[in-house]
Amino acid sequence: MQHADSFINHISAIKRYSPRTVQLYSDALNSFYEYILGDGSASSQDEIDVLTPLNIRGFVAELMEKGLSARSVNLQLSAMSSYCSYLMKMGMIQSNPVSKITRPKESRKLPEFYTELSLEKYFQNAYESYLEDSSFEKLRNYTLILILYSSGMRRAELCGLKIEDYNSVRSVFRVTGKGDKVREIPVPSLINEDILLYLKERTRIFGKESDYFFLTEHGQKPYLAFVNNIVKKELSQYDGFTSKKSPHVLRHSLATHLLNRGADLYSIKEILGHSSLAATQIYTHNSFEQMKKIYLTAHPRAKNGGNYGN
């Protein structure tokens, strides 16, 4: 598929989308063309001609019949829309056919998060466990969880983090996020001490051959599954983590806890590296649920059936 391949190369080499996003877009286009053209032996002009609202609606119906969720379908439509926008810029089509498609309605799911108490107990117990045998692996895992939670970094951002990205004097991390956007995240002073201890031990064991902040057991750059496995392994050892154990839930937890403690949405948006405030506003729902729980627990009419204690 000439045009599709050109688009995928564009978002990978020029726009520098993440490998996961590139793969998702590629799979979406392949699925569409396979549905419409079958064996894929069509010409480059056929690639353009089949991009009609009617064909795209049929593709959506096919995906829904296969049991894909509304979210998954909308992700594929977003990929199709980006592809068509690219073709418009290249002068291949006059308008974006995806703009005429009504997208399936997604059920709004609130972000999961861990309680402050659960995380406080984890950090205390995990650090004490490290002190018992001075295991570097325990120190690395503890520090990895600490940074994920205290900074709200994404997995990919953590994997790409280098030692030079940490400024202990200014107490900040310099993080390269989506679209190569760089932001600075402040580091609480108490956490600086733990980070410096980790870096000292890291240098003692691995030297300075690699400049990546975290390393695998073999001294290699960390990868996404590696981070996932550490988070799951660490949090599974302690009580209080009943929901999914993942780096993303740690990110959600920081945002929720900051909001509950009075941080404004714009500041949280900057720390998380969201491109728009709308992406950050979902955490206000969690904050409201927390407020509602406290309110109903404390309200005098919520006690003893509302009968004034009689």
Q: What is the pLDDT of residue 308?
A: 40
Chain-centroid distance of CA 142 in Å reads 20
Residues 298 and 23: their CA atoms lie apart, in Å, by: 50
**3-class secondary structure, 169:** coil
**3-class secondary structure, 212:** strand
Q: Residues 74, 139: one domain?
A: no
Q: Residues 28, 90: one domain?
A: yes
Q: 3-state DSSP: the chain helix, strand, coil percent, rounded to 5? A: 65, 5, 30
Query: Among residues 10, 121, 174, 178, which one is catalytic?
Result: 178
**3-class secondary structure, 170:** coil
Residues 222 and 161: their CA atoms lie apart, in Å, by: 10
Q: State the total domains in the chain.
A: 2
Tell me which residue range forms the domain holding 76. 2-100
Average pLDDT along the chain, 310 residues, taken 10 residues at a time: 89 88 93 83 81 93 89 92 93 92 77 87 93 93 96 93 94 88 88 94 91 94 94 91 87 88 84 76 58 56 46
Q: What is the pLDDT of residue 239?
A: 84
Query: Among residues 3, 140, 154, 202, which one is catalytic?
Result: 154
Q: State whether the Cα torsion 179-181-187-191 is positive or negative.
A: positive
Q: What is the pLDDT of residue 299?
A: 55
Answer yes or no: 251 catalytic: yes
Residues 189 and 176: their CA atoms lie apart, in Å, by: 22
Query: Among residues 138, 174, 183, 274, which one is catalytic?
Result: 274
Answer yes or no: 20 catalytic: no
Instruction: Kindly state whether residue 106 falls inside one of the protein's structural domains.
Output: no
Answer yes or no: 154 catalytic: yes
Tell me the per-residue pLDDT of 168-193, one tens digit each, with 9 for 90 and over.
999 999 998 887 889 999 988 889 99
Q: What is the pLDDT of residue 100?
A: 92
Q: Residues 183, 46: one domain?
A: no
Type of residue numbered 34: E
Q: Which one of 65, 100, 135 terminates a domain?
A: 100
Q: Residues 43, 69: one domain?
A: yes
Using a cut of 0.75, tell me whether the model's pTM lies above it: no
**3-class secondary structure, 156:** helix
Q: Residues 185, 286: one domain?
A: yes
Residues 249 and 111: their CA atoms lie apart, in Å, by: 8
Query: Among residues 17, 122, 142, 283, which one is catalytic?
Result: 283
Q: What is the pLDDT of residue 279?
A: 65
Question: Domain of 52: which CATH number?
Answer: 1.10.150.130
Instruction: Kindly state whether residue 309 falls inside one of the protein's structural domains.
Output: no
Q: How far is CA 142 from CA 138, 198, 219, 309, in A?
A: 6, 9, 17, 48
Q: Residues 144, 271: one domain?
A: yes
Residues 68 and 163: their CA atoms lie apart, in Å, by: 42
Q: What is the pLDDT of residue 272?
A: 87
Query: Among residues 140, 202, 251, 252, which one is catalytic?
Result: 251
Q: What is the pLDDT of residue 300?
A: 59
Answer yes or no: 248 catalytic: yes
Q: What is the pLDDT of residue 179?
A: 79
Question: Domain of 244: which CATH number?
Answer: 1.10.443.10
Q: Residues 151, 255: one domain?
A: yes
